[in-house]
Amino acid sequence: MTMTTFRAAALLCIGALLAVWLAAAPPAQGQEAVPASLDPAERQTLAAVEGYLNGIDTLRADFRQVGPEGDRAEGVLYLRRPGRLRVEYAPPVPVLIVGDGLLLHYHDMELGQVNDWFIFDTPLGSLTKEEMRFGEDLVVTAFAEIDGRIAITVVRPDDAGAGSLTLVLDADPFLLRGWQVTDAQGFVTTVALHDLETNIVLRPTLFVFENPRKTPRVER
């Protein structure tokens, strides 16, 4: 795995996580999302999954990431609503991602570069909000429940062509297992979660970013 490939995959990973993968400005010509046709039982399950996700105030999990070219990385993910996130990649990957409630900071420690976005304008925004809603924040384009697993594919309401996110959960009881992101070119990045803990006490300092720059430069 080249570091260039990894950096692209890392950005895709955070886009995955918390949904709607191409942060920054809305597209000039979006492709309209077409909602899946769900039967009453599927709608009931979807509402229950929404309730489960909205019931997660804090989260800690180990993750393993596999990129489009088979490149692998792992690390630890922390989340606290609203708007707080920390993604620590294990060595030798020199990347740290911190959401501090206002900005999402992507720090490439090897290059000494930092990119910042307003967190609620980023892919992570929907899932780090106090509440997210399927059909409003994210349009459900596919739903499947097979062998005790649920897969829910969502896209941005304003641009379905930008890519899709598929959340994967255990069905009974609900447990978030990870997600898969397909970008606009059809390349797939998979993130699997392990040893997931929810609604635990997390140190506030996890979500404080020590910026090497004096003034953040916010990407739009």
The ranges assigned to domains in the chain are 3-21+32-203
Task: Identify any residues that bridge with 206 across adjacent strands, giving them in sequence order.
Answer: none
Collapse the DSSP code of 15 into the 3-class scheme (helix H, G, I; strand E, B; otherwise coil) and give the result. helix
**Does the pTM exceed 0.85?**
no
- Cβ neighbors of 47 (< 8 A, separation 6 or more) are none
- Beta carbons of 167 and 151 less than 8 angstroms apart: yes
Order across the sheet with 58-66: list the strands: 113-118, 103-108, 95-100, 84-89, 72-80, 58-66, 188-198, 174-183, 163-171, 149-155, 139-146
pLDDT tens sequence across 17-41:
433 333 333 333 456 788 999 999 9
pLDDT tens sequence across 96-153:
999 999 998 999 988 888 988 888 776 566 678 888 888 877 889 999 999 999 999 9
Collapse the DSSP code of 211 into the 3-class scheme (helix H, G, I; strand E, B; otherwise coil) and give the result. coil
CATH 2.50.20.10 fits 3-21+32-203, yes or no: yes
pLDDT tens sequence across 173-206:
999 999 988 887 888 889 999 999 999 999 999 9
